[in-house]
Structure 1
Amino acid sequence: MRPSGRAHDALRPVFIQPGFARHAEGSALIRMGGTEVLCAASVEMRVPSFLRGKGRGWVTAEYGMLPRATHNRGAREAAKGKQGGRTQEIQRLIARSLRAVTDLNALGEISITVDCDVLNADGGTRCAAITGGWVALRLALEKLVRAGTLAVVPLKGQVAAVSCGLTQDGAVLDLDYAEDSTACTDSNFVLTPDGGIVEIQATAEQAPFTDSQFNTLMRLARTGTAELFRIQTAIIEEALKA
Structure 2
Amino acid sequence: MEYMEINRANGRAANEMRPVNLTREVMKNALGSCLVEFGDTKVLCAATIEEGVPGWRKASHAGWVTAEYAMLPASTNRRTKRETGSRKGRSMEIERLIGRSLRTVVNMKALGEYTVTVDCDVLQADGGTRTASITGAWVALHDALMKWVEAGKIARLPLTGQVAAVSMGLVDGCELLDLDYVEDSHAEVDMNLVATDTGEIIELQGTGERTPFSRERLGRLLDLGDAGIAQLIALQNEVTAFRD
How would you bin the TM-score normalised by the shorter chain?
Answer: over 0.9
Partner of 2:69 in structure 1? 63
Mapping of residues 1-242 of structure 1, within 5 Å: 1-4=6-9, 5-78=11-84, 81-237=85-241
Structure 1 counterpart of 2:48, which letter? S
- Structure 2 gap ranges (5+): 1-5
Question: How many angstroms does 1:154 deviate by?
Answer: 0.3
Q: Please, what TM-score do these two structures have when normalized by structure 2?
A: 0.95
Q: Is the deviation greater in 189-198 or in 57-66?
A: 189-198
Q: Percent same amino acid at aligned positions?
A: 50
Cα distance in 2 for residues equivalent to 1:2 and 1:61: 36
How far does the alpha carbon of each residue in 1:30-76 deviate from its partner, in whole angstroms, 9 at most, with x for none?
A: 01100000000010011000111110100000000001101111111
Q: Please, what TM-score do these two structures have when normalized by structure 1?
A: 0.96
Contact 1:2/1:169 (<8 A) preserved: no
RMSD value over aligned CA atoms?
A: 1.2
Number of aligned residues:
237
Cα distance in 2 for residues equivalent to 1:2 and 1:188: 22
SS state at 1:186 partner:
strand
Question: How many angstroms does 1:2 deviate by?
Answer: 3.2
Structure 2 counterpart of 1:103, which letter? N
Question: How many angstroms does 1:105 deviate by?
Answer: 1.0
Question: How many angstroms does 1:137 deviate by?
Answer: 0.2
Contact 1:3/1:178 (<8 A) preserved: no
Structure 2 counterpart of 1:88, which letter? M
- Structure 1 gap ranges (5+): none
SS state at 1:135 partner:
helix
SS state at 1:30 partner:
strand
Cα distance in 2 for residues equivalent to 1:98 and 1:221: 19
How far does the alpha carbon of each residue in 1:60-109 deviate from its partner, in whole angstroms, 9 at most, with x for none?
A: 0000000110111111111xx11010000000000010001111111010
Cα distance in 1 for residues equivalent to 2:229 and 2:240: 16
Cα distance in 2 for residues equivalent to 1:31 and 1:64: 16
- Runs (4+) of structure 1 exceeding 6 A deviation are none
